[in-house]
C-alpha cells in the first residue's frame, strides 16, 4: 500500500465509490419505476370503481326514480315528458351494459323488460296494475341488477387491495435491498478511505512538523530545522526530499537577505527623515532583492533632482492653466464691460444731443451747461470705476487672508450683473449670516464667476422661460456652504462626472476651452481646502461649495 502512488490510491477509491453510486442509482431508478407502475395500476383500479358508480349505478337509480315518477304522475302531460326521459336513459344504459359481462347484461335485460311493462301499464291507463308491478317485480329486478353492479364494484376494490398489498411487499423488499447496498458500500468506502486518508494524513503531519520547524527558525534564527524523513514511495516522499533541499538552500540564503533587509530599513528610515546621502551596500542572495538594491540606490541618486523638476513643472503648468483660464474669460469680460457701459454711454449721448439742440435754438444757459457737465463727469467716473473693478478682479491674491465670503460673492455678481440684466435673468442672493473664511478672495471670486457665467450661458442658449440663478450662503458649525442653483434644465447625465476635467467642454470649440470649471475645482479644493460638487435637480443644476470656516481653518 505504501509503494502505490497517491493518485492511483485515490483513483481506486473514487472508482469504487463511483461504481457503488451507479449501483445505488440503478436500484433507486428501479424502485421509482416500480412505484410509478404500481401507482398507475391502483389509479386504474380506482377509476374502474368510479366508472361503475358514475356510469351504471347512478344512472340506474335515475331510471328507477323516473319509472316510479311515471306511475305516480298526476296527469298525462307529466307522463309524456317522463316517458321521453325514460326512453333516453334506457338507450344510454343499453349501450353501457353491452360493454359489461354477459351476466350483468342479462340481468339488465330482465330489468329493462319490467320497465317496459310498467310503461305499458301506464299507457293503457291501468294505474293500479302499474303501481303494483313497479313496487314488486320491477323493484326486485332493480335490486338484483344493483346487487350485480355492487358485486362488480366490490371485485374491483378487492383487486385494488390485492395490488396494494403486493406493492407494499415489493417496495419493502426493494427498501431492504437498498439499505443493505448502502450499508455495504458505505462500509467498504469508509474502510478504504480511512486507510488511505490515515496514510496521507500521517505523511502530511510529518511534512507539517518539518515546515513548522523551518518557520520557527525564520522567526527565532536559533536552531536550524531538521530534515523531513518519510519512508513511503509516493508523491509525499518526493515532496519531502524537495522540501529538504529547498529548506537547506533557503536557510543559507536567508542570512544574507536579512542583512540586506536591515540595511534597506535603515536607508528607508533616513529617507523618511529627509536624508538622501544613505545608500545600500550589502549583497542580497535573491536576484529581486539585488534589483531592488539597484533601483533604490538609483532612485535616491535621482530623487532630489526629480522632486525639484516636478515641483517646477507643476508650478509652471498651474500658472499656464490659470493664464489660459483668464485669457479664455477675457472675451466674456469684455462683453460684460460692454453691458456695464451700454447705459452710461447712452446717457452721455442723450446729454450731448440735448446740449446740441439747446445750442442750436440759442437756449443754452450756464446752469444747464454746468449741470450737464456734472452729469457727464459722474457717468465718466462710473465707467472709470468699472474698468478699475475689472482690473482688480484679475489681480491674483498673493497670500492667504481672512475675508468676508459675501463680499467676494458680491464682487463676482457685480462683474456679471449687467449681462444678467441684458439676458433677463433674475439673480437671487440669500445671505443667512456673515461668514469669514481663510483663502484667496480674488481667486474665489473668479471661481464663483466661472459657475455663474456657465449658468448664464445655459439659460440664454436654451431660452429658458423665467430664468433665474439662486446664490445662497449657509454657515455651519465647522464649514460654510455656498449653493448656486439654476433652472437651466441640468447637465446631461453622461457629462456630470466629467465637467471638472481639464479641457472638457460641452460648448463648441470656439465658445469654450474647458478650463473654467477645472480651475474652479483647483481653487476651491487645492488652494482653499474645500470641496465642490454638482448634481442635477428637477429644474436644473446645483453646485455646492463647502469651505472650512475661520475657526476650523
What integer pLDDT is reported at residue 553 of this predicted model? 44
Query: Can you give the pLDDT at residue 477?
Result: 77
Distance CA 422, CA 418 (A): 6
Q: What is the pLDDT of residue 326?
A: 58
Average pLDDT (298-318) is 69
Average pLDDT over residues 519-524: 85
Q: Indicate whether 510 pLDDT > 50.
A: no
Report angle CA 319, 414, 541 to the nearest 5 degrees: 75
Q: Which residues contact 119 (CB under 8 A, 6 or more apart)?
A: 67, 70, 83, 86
Q: What angle do CA 68, 73, 78 make, to 5 degrees?
A: 115
pLDDT(470) > 90: yes
Task: Yes or no: say if 419 and 385 are a contact pair by the CB < 8 Å rule.
Answer: no
Comparison of pLDDT for 95 and 290, the residue scoring more: 95
Q: What is the pLDDT of residue 368?
A: 81
Q: How far apart are CA 115 and CA 60, in angstroms?
A: 11
Q: For residue 404, what is the enclosing H or E element?
A: strand 401-404
> What secondary structure letter does DSSP report for 234?
S
Listed residue (337, 344, 336) closest to 419, CA to CA: 336
Q: Supply 450's cell numbers.
A: 466661472
CATH for 308-394, among 3.40.50, 2.10.25, 3.30.70, 1.10.287? 1.10.287
Q: Which of 520, 467, 489, 486 is nearest to 328 (CA)?
A: 520
Q: Residue 548's beta-bridge partner residues?
A: 479
For the chain, the first-to-last Cα distance in angstroms comes to 78
- Of residues 428 and 30, the one with the higher pLDDT is 428
Read off the pLDDT band of 176 (50, 70, 90). confident
Helix ranges (DSSP H) in 361-440: 366-393, 405-422
Residue 295 has pLDDT above 90, yes or no: no
Cell numbers at 129, concatenated: 296494475
Q: Which residue, chain included where needed, has cell 515546515?
A: 211
Give the range among 279-293, 364-378, 515-529 with minimum mean pLDDT.
Answer: 279-293
**pLDDT at residue 381 is higher than 90:** no
**Residues forming a β-bridge with 470:** 428, 485
Q: Work out the mean pLDDT of the chain and round it to a whole number.
A: 75
Cα–Cα distance, 344 to 418 (Å, whole number):
12
The answer to which of 50-59, 105-114, 255-264, 351-360 has the lowest mean pLDDT is 255-264
Q: Which of 105, 109, 131 is nearest to 118 (CA)?
A: 131
pLDDT at 536: 92
Helix (H) or strand (E) holding 280: none
Least confident of 46-60, 299-313, 484-498: 299-313
Q: What is the mean pLDDT of residues 417-427?
A: 85
What is the CATH T-level fold of the domain 396-553, as seen in this structure?
Heat Shock Protein 90 (3.30.565)
Residues 6 or more apart from 389 whose CB is under 8 A from it? 411, 414, 415
Q: Is the pLDDT of residue 292 over 90?
A: no
Do the Cβ atoms of 435 and 406 come closer than 8 Å?
Answer: yes
pLDDT value for 110: 84
Cβ neighbour number for residue 425 with a 10 Å cutoff: 23
3-state secondary structure of 512: coil
Contact predicate 300/279, CB 8 Å: yes
Three-state DSSP class for 167? Answer: helix
Cell 301499464 belongs to 121
Which is higher by pLDDT, 462 or 311? 462
Amino acid at each position: 500500500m505504501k509503494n502505490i502512488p497517491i493518485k492511483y490510491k485515490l483513483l481506486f477509491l473514487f472508482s469504487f465509490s463511483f461504481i457503488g453510486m451507479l449501483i445505488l442509482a440503478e436500484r433507486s431508478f428501479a424502485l421509482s419505476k416500480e412505484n410509478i407502475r404500481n401507482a398507475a395500476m391502483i389509479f386504474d383500479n380506482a377509476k374502474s370503481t368510479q366508472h361503475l358508480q358514475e356510469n351504471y349505478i347512478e344512472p340506474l337509480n335515475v331510471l328507477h326514480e323516473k319509472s316510479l315518477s311515471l306511475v305516480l304522475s298526476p296527469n298525462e302531460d307529466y307522463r309524456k315528458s317522463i316517458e321521453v326521459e325514460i326512453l333516453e336513459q334506457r338507450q344510454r344504459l343499453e349501450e353501457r351494459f353491452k360493454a359489461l359481462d354477459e351476466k350483468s347484461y342479462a340481468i339488465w335485460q330482465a330489468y329493462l323488460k319490467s320497465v317496459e311493462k310498467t310503461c305499458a301499464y301506464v299507457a293503457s291507463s291501468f294505474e293500479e296494475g302499474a303501481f303494483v308491478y313497479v313496487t314488486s317485480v320491477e323493484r326486485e329486478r332493480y335490486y338484483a341488477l344493483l346487487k350485480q353492479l355492487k358485486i362488480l364494484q366490490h371485485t374491483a376494490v378487492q383487486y385494488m387491495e390485492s395490488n396494494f398489498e403486493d406493492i407494499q411487499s415489493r417496495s419493502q423488499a426493494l427498501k431492504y435491498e437498498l439499505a443493505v447496498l448502502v450499508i455495504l458500500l458505505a462500509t467498504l468506502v469508509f474502510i478504504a478511505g480511512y486507510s488511505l486518508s490515515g496514510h496521507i494524513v500521517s505523511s502530511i503531519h510529518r511534512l507539517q512538523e518539518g515546515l513548522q520547524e523551518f518557520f520557527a527558525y525564520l522567526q527565532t534564527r536559533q536552531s536550524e530545522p531538521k530534515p523531513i524523513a518519510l519512508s513511503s514511495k509516493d508523491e509525499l516522499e518526493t515532496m519531502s526530499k524537495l522540501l529538504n533541499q529547498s529548506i537547506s538552500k533557503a536557510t543559507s540564503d536567508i542570512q544574507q537577505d536579512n542583512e540586506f533587509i536591515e540595511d534597506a530599513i535603515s536607508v528607508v528610515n533616513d529617507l523618511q527623515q529627509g536624508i538622501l546621502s544613505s545608500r545600500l551596500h550589502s549583497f542580497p542572495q535573491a536576484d529581486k532583492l539585488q534589483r531592488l538594491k539597484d533601483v533604490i540606490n538609483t532612485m535616491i541618486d535621482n530623487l532630489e533632482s526629480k522632486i525639484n523638476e516636478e515641483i517646477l513643472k507643476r508650478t509652471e503648468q498651474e500658472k499656464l492653466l490659470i493664464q489660459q483660464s483668464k485669457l479664455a474669460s477675457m472675451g466674456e469680460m469684455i462683453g460684460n464691460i460692454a453691458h456695464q457701459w451700454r447705459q452710461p454711454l447712452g446717457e452721455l449721448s442723450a446729454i450731448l444731443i440735448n446740449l446740441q439742440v439747446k445750442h442750436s435754438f440759442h437756449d443754452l444757459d450756464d446752469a444747464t451747461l454746468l449741470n450737464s457737465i456734472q452729469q457727464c463727469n459722474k457717468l465718466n467716473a462710473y465707467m472709470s470705476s468699472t474698468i478699475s473693478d475689472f482690473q482688480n478682479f484679475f489681480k491674483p491674491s498673493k497670500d492667504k487672508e481672512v475675508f468676508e465670503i459675501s463680499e467676494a460673492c458680491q464682487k463676482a455678481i457685480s462683474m456679471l450683473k449687467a449681462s444678467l440684466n441684458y439676458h433677463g435673468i433674475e439673480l437671487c442672493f440669500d445671505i443667512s449670516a456673515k461668514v469669514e473664511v481663510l483663502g484667496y478672495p480674488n481667486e474665489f471670486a473668479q471661481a464663483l464667476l466661472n459657475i455663474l457665467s456657465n449658468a448664464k450661458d445655459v439659460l440664454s442658449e436654451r431660452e429658458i422661460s423665467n430664468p433665474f440663478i439662486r446664490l445662497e450662503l449657509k454657515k455651519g458649525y465647522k464649514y460654510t456652504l455656498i449653493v448656486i442653483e439654476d433652472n437651466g434644465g441640468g447637465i446631461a447625465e453622461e457629462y456630470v462626472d466629467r465637467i471638472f476635467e481639464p479641457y472638457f467642454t460641452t460648448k463648441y470649440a470656439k465658445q469654450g476651452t474647458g478650463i473654467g470649471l477645472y480651475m474652479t475645482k483647483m481653487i476651491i479644493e487645492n488652494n482653499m481646502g474645500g470641496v465642490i460638487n454638482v448634481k442635477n435637480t428637477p429644474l436644473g443644476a446645483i453646485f455646492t461649495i463647502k469651505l472650512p470656516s475661520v475657526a476650523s481653518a
